[in-house]
Structure 1
């Protein structure tokens, strides 16, 4: 008599653990990452806010139509979206070269409901980095039409950089006790300032040193609820080019604020990375509902200044196209597990499902060639129901670009390597990037779009990488060993 043995019981009879890895492919007809609708260089994300009346998100990013980077020439470009899939462009809201201080680089917006500045209750105050006499300064622009157009303050710069600091930028503004507070990135520390009117003079209150993180950029202070501790915590979000990622990234410290609004009593010995990839930078944070702090939303520029600072190996980009894109917005939750803080990240909104192309199942070691994404865009969902493989490697690309992610199952260590014909000699781009996951993942969600690949693991971690890819067909191979 013969007995049928199900795959679930193979291990019972043979002692061998079965392998079931499901690979689902989805196609996208169009891009789903925010990018400039006209030629130019897009970089740092700026403030984004939710308008409950319009049911729209409004946000800004730095944009340079002259294809210049590392110097003057940035404007703030305005967009709106209801779903983070389709975007309406509202053009330049804060133009460059309209004042003697030149352009408008990174900063933030605060809404002046108490009319501290004299521009009317509800005026939007945009504090931006500008330049004067070779120095970084802070300029104020204001809007009385809910952020569609801005005018320069009559007394700019509101912070003239009298100490001639080399780094004096990326002001983050918030209002407390009828005063405007600014956090400024000043090399490896943050300067904290206060003004009763939101204009000069801003009084210096002190500094917040950030150790071992290199040059600090794009700070933000906010409240974030920790469900495990059942309490709200003050968190500092910032960009840095040091730390455990071995590249620039976006990080978070947990601490408290003193009476002068100085961030102190840091509880995180090592700052927590919001994303483990090489290219989640120039980020900004926001909330869907003001005062609801269960999680925060974070949006980042998908790139790395290291790619643009080596003049001998600059990306060979087409100056007739648009350069740069934003990440998929993240929902970030603060956890406290095993006596330490950690972050869990996932897409903040439903990513378009796409059109199902094919489903394959890997049941043994080997190389699995999947269907090509015809326009270089798509989604790959990998589910490891049972996995006895020692190594899993996913490779995506064509003869002009390639990204490969190799996971060692026993350690949760992923090594990511990239190549692009546009950056053949760029050491920062070509350098292997290593990720250590907090646990072995059982699901990968891989989003592939023009210029970017983002991976979300069910361990609550994500990894974002610029690819400098094109719109041509992308091949997909999954290797099991």
Structure 2
């Protein structure tokens, strides 16, 4: 998804868009590599860049039934040394970094899976992780049909070749996803429009068993092109295009979901869902929520081209500014007949990626969420629940719930201080009672002397407004970082409600009473006390349950 950064940089700092390494007009000539600062930037229960440099797009992965762990891949450049203008004083190019987890909060880092350079191909960017259990690629020498699954794991990548060209490449592993080699010496698919439209990236790859077709959705900027072939590594022909809202379009995912009703019961209906990265600040019907993750329900035509139910049916999965380049995983090796998906996203935003406070480590992974497609009155919505890591026996490692507390509190009360709660890394549920008679705005404030985040829940106008402030102004992207973000939310019909808060060192994730999810970065000073306060002009009964994570 590097092109979106290039276009953004053209408008703000000036770059050469043909290079995979951003060449800004501005650079910090006095830049020195900062020292790692664990007190300010090391998270407790979020995966983050394991080295200095850059972590961004999540690539997905697979579930190992034998070890009961998830293998997850994300883009990483440990050679990048980025100053406050985004100028790279180091080297460009990405690997697919490999990490494993059993509970989504305790991680073991294994290093590069797909390396930066293999033979003459370097800089491996976003794509799809595909499990070839039927040996369709013919790469597992020990596979015998009818006697178990093939071990082959395929990484379908965007390859930049060190020249900024966007083409499609494939790599494979037969050792459990730890090391990868090149599938073939030639490009799988070369951009047919070089010089006219350099956008040709983020392939979403799947196999249509019924048609015996290998299919790729490729991001072209304003649309997606769809290619298919009878063989996995050659012969791809364009069979259609897809136009959906909020370009620049990137990082597509496609699943046939089993629809559930508003209570989570199966209805028997199936629906195709296209989930993708877009920019809510652009295009028809823009929501002004910044870059983010969107989805649309629809059908597939005879060529496996997605047809949206309507262009207006596009919805946002996470309403915050820092949930992008997300991937969606399931224990199934197919993308059909799916009950639910696990998703994680990159917590940052290209508008201010390099400008936020840092110690040379850029990029965090969101908490994992479980999502289901639910229908109510012919309206299809993704229902989100954070994957439980806080309950007893859910943690599978050293990071876990250390203690729990609960109680009641009043408006204008500093919850952490009043209840002698440690803070810094925790989950908190705030229960709201008797909402039927609450006709006012509830303001939730979180912060310290260095930052402040306000979330206003308007139970009359059915709006949620969130903004954040930092003590120091960012040299680039400050307007995008601090702006009010407003979206519609069904609040007035609620009788009771709950606000879920997941606060870590530099990350903050909410689930609001209407079910909407909101993710954002924050930067405390580690000196003054972070706290939470709820204010309103009307009386409301509130309880909390608190989980200290460490």
Distance (Å, rounded) in 2 between the aligned partners of 1:423 and 1:358: 37
| Pair 124,398 (structure 1): closer, same or farther in 2 beyond 3 Å | same
Is 175-184 or 48-57 further displaced after alignment? 175-184
Distance (Å, rounded) in 2 between the aligned partners of 1:467 and 1:45: 21
1:439 aligns with 2:473: no
Distance (Å, rounded) in 1 between the aligned partners of 2:321 and 2:526: 22
1:266 aligns with 2:309: yes
Task: Report 1:355-434 matches (<5 A).
Answer: 355-357=403-405, 359-362=407-410, 366-372=411-417, 374=422, 376-387=424-435, 388=438, 390-421=440-471, 423-425=473-475, 426-434=478-486
Offset of 1:244 from its aligned partner?
A: 2.3
- Give the aligned length: 443
- What secondary structure does 1:269 align onto? helix
| Pair 245,297 (structure 1): closer, same or farther in 2 beyond 3 Å | farther
1:342 aligns with 2:381: yes
Distance (Å, rounded) in 1 between the aligned partners of 2:70 and 2:109: 12
Distance (Å, rounded) in 2 between the aligned partners of 1:381 and 1:141: 44
1:226 to 238, 259, 264: 259
Q: Is the 8 A contact 1:315 1:422 kept in 2?
A: no
| Pair 86,480 (structure 1): closer, same or farther in 2 beyond 3 Å | same
1:205 to 189, 214, 239: 239
Q: Is the 8 A contact 1:60 1:76 kept in 2?
A: yes
Q: Is the 8 A contact 1:401 1:420 kept in 2?
A: yes
1:79 aligns with 2:120: no
2:62 to 43, 49, 59: 49
| Structure number with higher relative contact order (C-alpha < 8 Å, ≥ 6 residues apart) | 1
| TM-score normalized with structure 1 length | 0.85
Q: Which residue of 1 aligns with 2:144?
A: none
| Pair 268,55 (structure 1): closer, same or farther in 2 beyond 3 Å | farther
Offset of 1:155 from its aligned partner?
A: 2.1
Offset of 1:438 from its aligned partner?
A: 2.3
Distance (Å, rounded) in 2 between the aligned partners of 1:437 and 1:288: 32
1:318 aligns with 2:359: yes
Q: Which residue of 1 aligns with 2:18?
A: none
* Gap runs ≥5 in structure 2: 1-41, 141-149, 262-266, 281-285, 392-400, 538-550
Q: Is the 8 A contact 1:61 1:76 kept in 2?
A: yes
Offset of 1:361 from its aligned partner?
A: 2.2
Offset of 1:471 from its aligned partner?
A: 5.1
Q: Which residue of 1 aligns with 2:542?
A: none
Task: Report 1:145-224 matches (<5 A).
Answer: 145-164=175-194, 165-177=197-209, 178-210=212-244, 212-224=245-257
Q: Is the 8 A contact 2:416 2:423 kept in 1?
A: no
Distance (Å, rounded) in 2 between the aligned partners of 1:249 and 1:269: 17
Distance (Å, rounded) in 1 between the aligned partners of 2:78 and 2:487: 35
Distance (Å, rounded) in 2 between the aligned partners of 1:44 and 1:316: 20
| TM-score normalized with structure 2 length | 0.75
- What secondary structure does 1:428 align onto? helix
| Pair 265,43 (structure 1): closer, same or farther in 2 beyond 3 Å | closer
Distance (Å, rounded) in 2 between the aligned partners of 1:325 and 1:421: 22
Alignment RMSD, CA only? 2.4
Offset of 1:149 from its aligned partner?
A: 0.9
Distance (Å, rounded) in 1 between the aligned partners of 2:136 and 2:248: 32
Distance (Å, rounded) in 1 between the aligned partners of 2:183 and 2:524: 41
1:453 to 493, 502, 508: 508
Cα displacement string for residues 42-91 of structure 1 (whole angstroms, at most 9, x for unaligned residues):
11111122122211111111111123678942111111111112111111
More strand by share: 1
1:125 to 154, 160, 166: 154
